[in-house]
Every structure is written in structure tokens, then in C-alpha cells.
């Protein structure tokens, strides 16, 4: 029987309605040029490794799962805790065709509010970059 993974980090999921197509949103999440418009100063992707540059420092993440125009899940190399990742999921309401971007992340409990503010700011930049 598999053991349940105990996290010291808390999972958060944030939903952002975005007036754009899943294809445009996904391109901004998966391409170096798209990522450098809203997420970081510069991005590179080689094989399944994403490198993000902020103010001269570089952080890397490994691609865990990708589903075209729907899902992107990454794990920071610096994060040694099992079962911890960050994810972008694009959902389209079948009735209204409204598009939402759901960001899932794992945070230390005392960093929860600052991480929520961080994602709110980053997704605002993303929406601005795509004209939403």
C-alpha cells in the first residue's frame, strides 16, 4: 500500500477568469518569449528543463506534465519535497465558453498571503500582455 505523502507546504489554488483563447494563454505559459513577457526577465527551455532568470539569478524547474492548451505542471529543482509542484490549468466552461486559468502552488503556511499577492500580480501582467 502506498504511503500518503505528508507535506510541510500547503497547497493553494487560485482561479483567474481570462478573456482569451486557451491556445493564446498556453503559448504564454510554454514559450520562452511568452514567459519573459509576464513571468520572468528571461526564460529558456531545453528538453524538459525550464530556466527562469530574475535580476541576474536563475532558477530551474522540470516539466512534469504537459497537455496542449490545457495543463502545464512543473517542479522547482530547488524544492526537494516530494509531491510539490506548481501548475497552470486552463478550463473552458462548456455552457458559457468562459476561460479560466487555475494556478496551483505549494507554499509554506507563513508565506501563503504573500504568494497569493505574487500570483495575483503575475497573472495581472499575463492578462495585460495578452490584452485581456
* Domain boundaries, given as residue ranges, for the chain: 10-129
Supply 128's cell numbers: 495585460
Residue 81's contacts (CB-CB under 8 Å, 6 or more residues apart) are 7, 8, 9, 106
Specify the pLDDT at position 78. Answer: 83
Q: Provide the CATH topology of domain 10-129.
A: Alpha-D-Glucose-1,6-Bisphosphate; Chain A, domain 4 (3.30.530)
The single-letter DSSP state of residue 102 is E
Q: What percent of the chain has pLDDT over 70?
A: 95
pLDDT of 29 over the 70 cut? yes
Specify the pLDDT at position 102. Answer: 98
pLDDT band at 75 (very low <50, low <70, confident <90, very high): very high
pLDDT of 128 over the 80 cut? yes
The single-letter DSSP state of residue 5 is P
- Mean pLDDT across the stretch 103-110? 94
Specify the pLDDT at position 3. Answer: 52
Mean pLDDT, the chain, as a whole number?
Answer: 92
Amino acid at each position: 500500500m502506498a504511503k500518503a505523502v505528508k507535506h510541510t507546504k500547503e497547497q493553494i489554488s487560485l482561479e483567474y477568469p481570462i478573456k482569451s483563447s486557451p491556445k493564446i494563454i498556453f503559448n504564454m505559459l510554454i514559450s520562452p518569449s511568452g514567459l519573459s513577457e509576464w513571468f520572468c526577465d528571461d526564460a529558456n527551455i531545453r528538453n524538459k528543463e525550464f530556466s527562469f532568470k530574475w535580476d541576474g539569478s536563475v532558477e530551474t524547474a522540470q516539466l512534469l506534465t504537459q497537455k496542449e492548451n490545457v495543463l502545464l505542471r512543473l517542479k522547482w529543482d530547488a524544492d526537494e519535497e516530494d509531491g510539490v509542484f506548481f501548475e497552470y490549468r486552463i478550463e473552458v466552461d462548456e455552457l458559457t465558453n468562459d476561460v479560466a486559468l487555475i494556478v496551483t502552488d505549494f507554499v509554506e503556511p507563513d508565506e501563503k498571503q504573500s504568494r497569493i499577492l505574487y500570483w495575483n500580480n503575475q497573472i495581472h501582467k499575463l492578462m495585460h500582455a495578452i490584452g485581456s
